[in-house]
């Protein structure tokens, strides 16, 4: 995913921004999302790690490898196994190593904003929650 893309009108550059929110809490926000198979993956440094608790759950996606899960905790509530990541993805999926994706009610929005307005700007809704590894989709 490129950080800056041409705006539809061709009047400059636009920055891609993605945000994950659940229970009124922003879990992740980035200008460097990785989109893969309908999911938005957030770089680990752009995710609020204090909102994630590792679980023992796992699944295997044939070409990506072993996915591990987090339970999301926000606003006094828990959302079991609502986030996943690939700690050791296959070579074909190396660009999502340790990146976090969300599903199960976590709202993931992506959009673009004019180049210098990216900081502090909310993305325009363009997509919903993702599809977890191993699920049809």
> What confidence tens digit (pLDDT) does each residue in 30-88 have?
999 999 999 999 999 999 999 999 999 999 999 999 999 999 999 999 999 999 999 99
> How would you label 42-53 residue by residue, b for 16+ Cβ within 10 Å and e otherwise?
bbeebbbeebbe
Instruction: Please list, in sequence order, all residues whose beta carbon lies within 8 angstroms of the beta carbon of residue 63, skipping any fewer than 6 positions away.
Output: 90, 92, 93
Tokens of 88: 């050791």
Residue 124: per-residue pLDDT: 39
> Thinking of the domain 4-117, which architecture would CATH place it in?
Beta Complex (2.170)
Residue ranges per domain, the chain?
Answer: 4-117
pTM: 0.76
First-to-last CA distance in the chain?
21
Q: How far apart are CA 20 and CA 105, in angstroms?
A: 10
């Amino acid at each position: 995913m490129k950080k800056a893309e041409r705006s539809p009108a061709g009047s400059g550059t636009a920055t891609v921004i993605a945000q994950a929110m659940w229970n009124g809490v922003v879990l992740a926000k980035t200008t460097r999302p990785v989109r893969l198979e309908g999911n938005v993956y957030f770089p680990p440094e752009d995710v609020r790690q204090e909102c994630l608790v590792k679980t023992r759950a796992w699944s295997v996606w044939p070409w990506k490898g072993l996915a591990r899960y987090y339970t999301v905790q926000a606003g006094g509530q828990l959302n079991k196994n609502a986030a996943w990541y690939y700690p050791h993805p296959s070579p074909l999926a190396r660009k999502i190593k340790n990146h976090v994706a969300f599903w199960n009610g976590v709202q993931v929005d992506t959009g673009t904003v004019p180049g210098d307005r990216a900081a502090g700007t909310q993305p325009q809704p363009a997509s919903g929650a993702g599809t977890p590894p191993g699920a049809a989709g």
